[in-house]
Amino acid sequence: MTDYRTLAFEEVEVGDKLPSLEIEITTGLIVSTALATRDFEPVHHDKAVAQATGLPDVFMNILTSQSFMTRFVTDWSGPEAVVKSVDIRLGAPNVPGMVMTVTGRVQAKDDDAGEVEVAVAGENNIWGMHMEGCVRLQLPGS
Amino acid sequence: MNDEQQQAFEQCLYRFVGRQVCARTAAKDAVNEAMIRHWAETVGDANPAYTDAQWAARSARGRIIAPPAMMYSWNQEGFPVVAQGRAPDAQTELVDLFNENGFTGVLGTNVKQEYYKEIGLGERVHLEMVIDNISEQKATARGIGYFFETLASFSDQHGDLIGTQRFRVLKFIPPETAAAADGGGAEQDTLQTPTRIAAPRGHDNSWWWEACDQGQVLIQRCRNCQTLRHPPRPMCGECQSLDWDSIESCLEGELLSFTELHHPRIPGYPLPLICGVIRLREGVNLVANIVGAEEQALAIGMRVQGKVEQVDEKTMLPQFYPAENGVEK
């Protein structure tokens, strides 16, 4: 059993930066994550249907963007953190051949609730901002 | 659409506010290890709270939990959507109404999930959804349109609220695009890498850019008084002569000033993006990118050496390196 550590609320400061995460966008990733979130909309697995909407290829579904946003934050916080909300503004689609870099920074702390608010952005290298928003987490006390 | 038509349309439109998209419905599958594992594998999430029963048993929760981001997944309709299409409901009716009135464009703009309660294996998510609000008509960057928001509420088998999701969608009149004209852009088969914004070429400066395309940086010279000038313009500032020729710059110079552009990030422009003003040895100033050095390594007065380079598929530009880097000319 691996030892997992979870950040304590007191250890986190406003302004702390999270380790960035690079995600290589492939057809396999787009199709697999769409199906794993039970999203069978053809634009996420059928290139011809995606192209008919004016895009060059299949594109990532929203549930997957939400998933990467929470994964990014809990990778940093550790597993005992409780995710309270994920608020996302959606930007340019992620299509195969791109690389999305996810970055984040602690932007607020709520001492009463023991919650931290992390601003997160995912930018792809071709079209720019894919997702931007914030994740609220409840962290255990030390 | 004239004012009267718009009024009639909006009257139909706003009747959708508050309408139920689906009544409280149980997910086909209870929260289970297999679906969580598929999700965790594809998203690359190694959080043991979702997949490591041994760890979870000793954790503060004492059990495995479903990934919060899967909240909506449990109730997704799955493959029948592809095979049979979506069953009509208030949302599909609303979308049809938009489409019939020319608001055929669709764009998900915001999604917010709030989580009130973690759920474990064997629990069953129930979903109900309403059309929560529709905006007034807005002029957006995409076109004229309306935002509508659905509110989904998720509860467990006891009726306790697990979380909510607000999803905001823009329905808009798409501008007529070249892609639409040639059949929806289906022939665009590869990912187009954006290039830099092309410099406008006019009567007085296209000769300069054409030389640049050939790998040369030219400096305009007055044929009457021999004064050099840049950027290109039709008349000599010294003697007002309209007669000119040009010389080729050696691209050696001194950095007069520089700045790094951090925001906004513009597609097609690599970072770091440093712009400098270079005093060329010939005596005129040129604005160009400084490459091959971090911003911290630059200093006003340092010597730089330029080279005309292909910076993307369509663009040739002079770029400058710190002179000690020994650029081949």
Cross-chain Cβ contact B42/A32 below 8 Å: yes
Encode pLDDT of A28-41 as tens digits.
Answer: 999 999 999 999 99
Who among A54, A68, A79 is closest to B179 (CB)? A54
Which value does ipTM take for this structure?
0.96
What percent of chain B lies above the pLDDT cut of 70? 93
pTM: 0.74
Query: Which whole number is the average pLDDT over B265-293?
Result: 92
Q: For residues B144 and B301, give the distance between their C-alpha atoms in angstroms, rounded to a whole number.
A: 51
Query: Which whole number is the average pLDDT over B188-205?
Result: 81
**The predicted structure's pLDDT at residue B177:** 47
- Count how many pairs of residues, chain A against chain B, have C-beta atoms within 8 Å: 149
Encode pLDDT of B233-255 as tens digits.
Answer: 999 999 999 999 999 999 999 99
Encode pLDDT of B171-181 as tens digits.
Answer: 999 876 434 43
**Cβ–Cβ contact A95 with B under 8 A:** yes
| B108 contact residues in A (CB cutoff 8 A) | 62, 90
Cross-chain Cβ contact B55/A128 below 8 Å: no
Pair B29, B74: CB distance under 8 Å: yes
Fold of B3-31+66-175: Thiol Ester Dehydrase; Chain A (3.10.129)
pLDDT of B139 > 80? The answer is: yes
| pLDDT band, residue B230 (cuts 50/70/90) | very high
**The predicted structure's pLDDT at residue B89:** 93
**Cβ–Cβ contact A86 with B under 8 A:** yes
Who among B68, B113, B188 is closest to A56 (CB)? B188
**The predicted structure's pLDDT at residue B32:** 98
**The predicted structure's pLDDT at residue A17:** 97
Report residue B196 as tokens.
């830099």
**The predicted structure's pLDDT at residue B176:** 67
| B113 contact residues in A (CB cutoff 8 A) | 66, 85-87
Query: Which whole number is the average pLDDT over B168-191?
Result: 62
| B180 contact residues in A (CB cutoff 8 A) | 54
Three-state SS sequence of chain B: CCHHHHHHHHHHHHCCCCCEEEEEEECCCCCCHHHHHHHHHHHCCCCHHHHCHHHHHHCCCCCCECCHHHCCHHHCCCCHHHHHCCCCCHHHHHHHHHHHCCCCEEEEEEEEEEECCCCECCCCCEEEEEEEEECCCEEECCEEEEEEEEEEEEECCCCCEEEEEEEEEEEECCCCCHHHHCCCCCCCCCCCCCCCCCCCCCCCCHHHHHHHHCCCCEEEEECCCCCEECCCCCCCCCCCCCCEEEEECCCEEEEEEEEEECCCCCCCCCCCEEEEEEEECCCCEEEEEECCCCHHHCCCCCEEEEEEEEEECCEEEEEEEEHHHCCCC
| pLDDT band, residue B188 (cuts 50/70/90) | low
Structural domains for chain A? 9-138 (3.10.129.10)
Fold of B251-329: OB fold (Dihydrolipoamide Acetyltransferase, E2P) (2.40.50)
Alpha-carbon dihedral of residues B288, B310, A129, A81, nearest 10 degrees? -100
| A62 contact residues in B (CB cutoff 8 A) | 108, 111
B-proximal residues of A, 25-44, CB under 8 Å:
29, 32-33, 35-42
Task: State the nearest Cα–Cα gap between A13 and chain B, in angstroms.
Answer: 23
**The predicted structure's pLDDT at residue B180:** 44
The burial class, CB within 10 Å (0-12 / 13-18 / 19+), for B249 is buried
**How many of the other CB atoms lie within 10 Å of CB of B290?**
25
Residue type (1 letter), B314: K
Q: Are strands B315-322 and B285-290 parallel, antiparallel or unpaired?
A: parallel
Report residue B151 as tokens.
């509110």
| B265 contact residues in A (CB cutoff 8 A) | 123, 128
**The predicted structure's pLDDT at residue B297:** 92
pLDDT of A1 > 60? The answer is: no
pLDDT of B220 > 70? The answer is: yes
**The predicted structure's pLDDT at residue B179:** 44
**How many of the other CB atoms lie within 10 Å of CB of A115?**
18
- Our measurement of the distance from residue B234's CA atom to the centroid of its chain's CA atoms, rounded to an integer in Å, reads 40
Encode pLDDT of B35-78 as tens digits.
Answer: 999 999 999 999 999 999 999 999 999 999 999 999 999 999 88
Encode pLDDT of A76-129 as tens digits.
Answer: 999 999 999 999 999 999 999 999 999 999 999 999 999 999 999 999 998 889
pLDDT of B328 > 50? The answer is: no
Q: Mean pLDDT over all residues of chain B?
A: 91
**The predicted structure's pLDDT at residue B262:** 86
Interface test mutation site (partner A, options B31, B113, B154, B196, max chain A beta carbons within 10 A):
B113
Domain boundaries, chain B: 3-31+66-175, 199-248, 251-329
pLDDT of B222 > 70? The answer is: yes
